[in-house]
Structure 1
Amino acid sequence: MRRKSLQVAAVALLGTVFAVLLGLWAAERVCVAPDVIVPGVTVGGMAFEGLTAAEALARLRDYEARLLLRPVRLECAGRAWALPLARAGVGVEHAKVISEALSVGHRGWLLHRYLERYRVAREGKEIPIRVHVDRQKLTSLIAELTQELTILPQNAGFRVLPDDRIIVIPAREGRCVDAPAAYDQMVAILNDPGREPVIRVALRTLSPEYTTEEVLAMGLNCLLGEYATTFAPEKVNRVYNISVAAGALDGLVVRPGEVVSFNKVVGPRSSEAGYKTAPMIINNEFVDALGGGVCQVSTTLYNAVLRAGLAVVERHNHSLPVGYVPAGLDATVTYGGADFKFRNNTDKYLYLRTAIQGNRLVVKIFGNNRFKRRVEVRSWVTEVIEPKRIEQSDPNLEVGKRVVKQKGIRGCRARAERLIYDGEQVVREELPPSFYHPLDEIVAVGTKAVPTVIAPREGVTKPKPEPEPQPETTVEEAYPQGTGFPEGELPSGVESPGETVYESGR
């Protein structure tokens, strides 16, 4: 029994010694530096053993240069084109291939690495060359080569004719080469040298984004309401600001139920947005500021909205009466402050058009003829507020002289209403009331003494003559008759404008 145990131990010891000797022999045979590819590794059929990362990269780049010279043909609809692989975004994935080659025999615990090197040295290890294709570049190249076969789709749309009729422009399908289908074929050809280097694709249909049925469903078929105001064309900056703000509204499409904010659509009145300096009402007086004149656009839109029978959500009057609409029918706006908002209270779309025609700003609102109504808009003055007369001493004026520095303007309170006729029914809507501050008249009174020179006469004392009263003068060149302000914004007085009647549609 003792002898048998000794024999088993001896055999185990001999096996261990043999394994150690074998491992040391294998390690010595296949031992390489960690930055060198071990023997037996091939890449794409090319021997890479003993190469460093830099040497492997150079060999792969040489292979890539030869690969890009391969002729590949694209065929579609009986036509054929050569595909330059360099422009198609074809390339070898150098980093991935080199990393995989270097990892052989250099990863895992020590004995595992030695055993892997021994096995690879005996059996070999093939690493495929991975070729990538830039899908976007390939698609762009194919679109460029096959441009003659491409027909772009046409979206359905609508056009407003000079007589305010609306016509629908039908949609049209397009076509193009099915470039996405070429990608998989290209990858297969590059990774299989024995495959026929031909990519065959078909034409595919391109659908329009907006169909004819979708545009017809918008329901745009008539003019619901319009309004126009006039301006002084010689006020260049002000007219420019009006055109910029009106341009932001032109072409606006409003969904059913949507609330439109003038400030949100038009945006900030800044120099970056293209606005210039012109007079506007700030703190009950006219001052030069960026965007002067924009309120005429919001006012014109407000009146068009009223006559289109739409719902007004927010409206504010100016602090002073303006001259381009009757009292009670203006709508002031300030970016970040007072806004004008209206809601599309129809179940169809609305479409806005704005235009500068000579010295007129025109706003038109188009919609569906089911909502076309006869509309009357009335406004009237309920109270006239007289301005105060303020006299200010002016040491630069001679005694007895008086100059009107600011012409007084009446303020007022005004009311307005809208009547919407639906057959025999009449809906009367009271519009928001308006209060306009008066503008005080300011008169400069001279206090400057005028010296009197008297020739001396012996024995005679002559009293100084009293200064004769001078007539009051006005600065007519600054404030023309009938306006009260240079911009023509304010009337010389406030009179009841009476009644305005408008029938929507044509």
Structure 2
Amino acid sequence: MSGHRIEKAPKGEQKQGKKGAVLAGVIAAVLLCGYLGLCAWVGGRNVIMPHVGISGLDVSGMTRDQAADALKNALAEERGDPITLNISCEGWSGKLSAADLAVDQETTVQAAMQAGEGPFLLRGGQYLAHLLGAGSQVELALQDQQPALTALLEDMERQVGDVTMAHWQVSGQTLELTKGVTGLAADEEQAAQLLHQALDQGFAQKFGQGEQNVTVDVDLPVTQMPPQEPDFDAVHQDVYTEPKDAALDGTTHEIVSESVGLDFDPAQLKAAYDQAGEGETVSIPLTVTQPKETRESLSAKLFRDLLGKGTTKVGGSAARKNNVALSAKACNGVILLPGEVFSYNNTTGSRSASKGYQAAPVYVGGASTDEVGGGICQTSSTIYYAVLHTTLEVVERRSHMYNTGYVPAGMDATVYYGSTDFRFRNNTNYPVKLVTESYDKGGSRYLTVKIYGTNETGTYAVPKSTTFDQVAPTTQYKADSSIPRGTTKVDRKQNPYTGVKAKTVRYVYNKDGSLNQEQSMGTSTYKMRPKTIYYNPADGDPATWANGVPPQPSTPGGGQTETKPSTGENTVPAETPAPETPPQTGGETAGGNEPPSQDLQT
């Protein structure tokens, strides 16, 4: 067994070595802490590093706001002492001033703030390097939109470039596309980069070197460039046309001409383009779709057919006849395009004295009274009566409280502005027009409503109604001390009405007269109103009168006066009384058996 003995260092030397290692560690820790502190301090200063410039403009040690002000002032100074770029390209020349270019000052200052910083652990070193003379120059950032630069490059391209771009045209029922031809062209991306560099150079000469009236020459290169392939989807969007029928303009009432539909397959066009040589023209067929309706055909069809007609006799006072004529005039000539809805209230508007409407009888809570616009329900009812003779769709309709008498039971339409309306929809494929006429004939006033449109199939409608549950007017007595004793007076304003219900059906027939369908239009309910007789309360209960005649008052001599029952003085009736037995033909109701709170029935 062999080996050797390791000599141990003296104890004093061992202690000295340990002290040196500890001291070195302490120094390293101090230096590290100091460096980390420096990095933190640099990051928290919020100022630009030493020896940092913006295209020659010194912004060292500035805050963000200070640097922004310095850049703003420098750019303003440049406007009075311009930096000019003299640009040339293949014999073309142009000029561009730095003032023509929009600088993105915020982005530029932000780049200066970040210059030289780097990651946290490198900030201290970067700061020391900049402190010892290392520098950073930040280029001016330009805004995305540069109208002056864009216009200059476009002018250069027009003068220098001779690349022939692809172009297309529609010829008859084919699409022709001519392929472009390779030629000289300026590289706009490279040109913009070179101009940007020249701009920075000009600012560096002005800001960094103090030169005035700086001019920088820039020579832009050209290159051989093939024609750009067309955007086939964009070509399709330009060529594609939806077929459109001629139609009537709802505002001007003029016919808008038709459009022929055009379409093609973009993939087919691209395949033909790929196989063509430069400058060669290729063509593909277009899919042409003719409209169903032309200007000429529509003109021949518009309002050619009388779809339905209704006529009513207008009675009552002159004021009532005036109101009927005014409301009819407001509806005359109204045109509804397919799908549009006619609203009687919207068409006539509020019935006010300023529009010429006068006070005439209406029903309020079942009683007759005078109100401005009384009588206009005859117009809405006559229109409804005409609609019932068509296949047009009824949207809203309500029957009167009492049977009107001027249209068959179930064929009236009450309205009251703001609450109750009459509406119908044009459910045909063509416009319809209302034509109203108020006229005198044979000493009487009449109102006629005609609905014109285009009857494509020849169908027609016949409305009929069946009445039932008739209730004859009862008689009621009301005491009135103004009535002379021994006499009575019949209320001629609150006329009696027979109560009745009317179920209406619209029968739609084909052109050959065969029944197509039966449309149930609902049931209308009209209330009974009793006959009212006024009497003097001193004559006692009418139920005790002999033969329904009030007792005669005694004469001063003890006798009685001759019995002469009186009907009193008649007032102007609210309307021509409804017949005791309503007509057996009637019309449609859109529902609603309960009367409105105020009912413009006449």
TM class by shorter chain equals 0.5 to 0.7
1:268-305 CA-partner distances (Å, limit 9, x unpaired):
9899xx9x998654654456789876755653443333
Contact 1:158 1:215 in 2 (8 A): no
**Aligned position for 2:185:** none
The equivalent position to 2:536 in structure 1, one of 446, 463, 466, is 446
**What are the within-5 Å matches in structure 2 for residues 204-243 of structure 1?**
213=291, 221=302, 222-223=304-305, 225-228=307-310, 234-235=319-320, 242=327
Say which SS state the counterpart of residue 325 (structure 1) adopts. Answer: coil
Q: In structure 1, how many angstroms separate the alpha carbons of the residues matched to 2:384 and 2:577?
A: 20
Which of 157, 160, 166 is the equivalent residue of 2:247?
157
Q: How far apart are residue 104 of structure 1 and its match?
A: 3.5
Contact kept in structure 2, 1:381 and 1:495, CA below 8 Å = no
Identity %: 22
Deviation at 1:350, TM superposition (A): 4.8
Considering only aligned residues, what root-mean-square deviation do their CA atoms show, in Å? 6.2
**Residue of structure 2 aligned with 1:104, choices 114, 117, 127:** 114
Aligned to 1:463: 557
Distance 1:91 1:229 in 2: 76
Residue of structure 2 aligned with 1:386, choices 472, 477, 482 = 472
Question: Matches of 1:61 and 1:303 in 2, distance apart?
Answer: 82
- CA deviation after TM superposition for structure 1 residue 170, in Å: 0.3
CA distance in 1, matches of 2:343, 2:19: 104
Partners of 1:107 and 1:270 in 2: CA distance: 80
Partner AA of 2:257 in structure 1: P
Q: Which residue does 1:56 correspond to in 2? A: 68
- Cα offset for 1:321? 1.2
Deviates more, 1:352-361 or 1:388-397: 352-361
| Structure 1 counterpart of 2:136 | 123
Q: Kindly tell me: are residues 216 and 64 of structure 1, through their superposed partners in 2, closer, same or farther at Cα, counting changes over 3 Å?
A: farther
Q: Distance in 2 between matches of 1:240 and 1:33?
A: 88
Which residue does 1:170 correspond to in 2?
Answer: 257
Please say if residues 472 and 498 of structure 2, whose CA atoms lie closer than 8 Å, have aligned partners that are also in contact. yes
Tell me the residue number matched to 1:473.
568
CA contact (8 A) 2:461 2:509 kept: yes
Task: State the 1:392 CA deviation.
Answer: 0.9
Deviation for aligned residue 1:334: 7.3
Residue 322 of structure 1 deviates from its aligned partner by 1.8
* Structure with the largest fraction of strand: 1
Alignment CA distance shift 1:279-1:8 (3 Å): farther
Aligned residue for 1:253?
337
Aligned to 1:329: 411
**Corresponding position of 1:493:** 579
| CA 312–7 in structure 1, closer or farther in 2 if over 3 Å, else same | same
User: Aligned partners of 1:296 and 1:107: how far apart in 2?
Assistant: 89
What SS is found at the alignment partner of 1:318? coil
> Structure 1 residue 251: deviation in Å?
3.8
SS at match of 1:376: strand
In structure 2, relative to structure 1, the CA distance for the partners of 1:384 and 1:101 (3 Å cut) is: same
8 Å CA contact 1:315–1:339 kept in 2: the answer is: yes
8 A contact 2:409–2:586 mirrored in 1 = no
Question: Residue in 1 aligned with 2:174?
Answer: none
**Residues 337 and 432, structure 2, Cα contact 8 Å, conserved in 1:** yes
Q: How does 1:63-142 map to 2 (within 5 A)?
A: 97=107, 100=110, 104=114, 114=124, 122-126=135-139, 128-130=141-143
Question: Which residue does 1:436 correspond to in 2?
Answer: 526
Q: Which amino acid letter does the alignment assign opposite residue 104 of structure 1?
A: Q
Residue type of the alignment partner of 2:579: G
Deviation of 1:492 after TM superposition, in Å, equals 4.6
Contact 1:350 1:365 in 2 (8 A): no
Q: Given the superposition, is the C-alpha separation of residues 105 and 93 from structure 1 closer, same or farther in structure 2, using an over 3 Å criterion? A: closer
| 1:425 corresponding residue in structure 2 | 514
Query: Is 1:353–2:415 an aligned residue pair?
Result: no
CA contact (8 A) 1:37 1:101 kept: no
Tell me the number of residue pairs that the alignment of Structure 1 and Structure 2 aligns: 387
Asked if residue 366 in structure 1 is aligned to residue 453 in structure 2, the reply is: yes
Q: Which TM-score applies when normalising by structure 2?
A: 0.45
Q: Distance in 2 between matches of 1:106 and 1:155?
A: 69
Q: Is the 8 A contact 2:391 2:508 kept in 1?
A: yes
Q: In the TM superposition, what is the alpha-carbon distance from 1:329 to its structure 2 partner?
A: 1.4
Letter in 2 for 1:234: A
Deviations 1:443-481 (A, max 9, x none): 3223489xxxxxxxxxxx9636756646322442xx3xx
- 1:301-316 alignment to 2 at 5 Å? 301-310=383-392, 316=398
Could you tell me which amino acid in structure 1 is paired with residue 407 of structure 2? V
Tell me, yes or no, if the aligned pair for 2:488 and 2:534 is still in contact at 8 Å: yes
Call closer, same or farther: CA 1:37–1:122 in 2, change over 3 Å.
closer
Of the structure 1 ranges 8-17 and 430-439, higher mean CA displacement relative to structure 2 is found in 8-17
Matched to 2:433, the amino acid is: R
Report the counterpart of residue 206 of structure 1 in structure 2. Answer: none
The structure number with the bigger radius of gyration is 2
Q: Is the 8 A contact 2:64 2:113 kept in 1?
A: no
Decide whether the 8 Å contact of 2:405 with 2:579 is kept in 1: no
With structure 1 as the length reference, what TM-score do the two structures score? Answer: 0.52
Look up the match of 1:409: 496
Secondary structure of the residue aligned to 2:385 is helix
Structure 2 contact 381–413 (Cα < 8 Å) conserved: yes
8 Å Cα contact 1:226-1:363 kept in structure 2:
yes
Are the equivalent residues in 1 in contact too, given 2:320–2:375 (CA < 8 A)? no
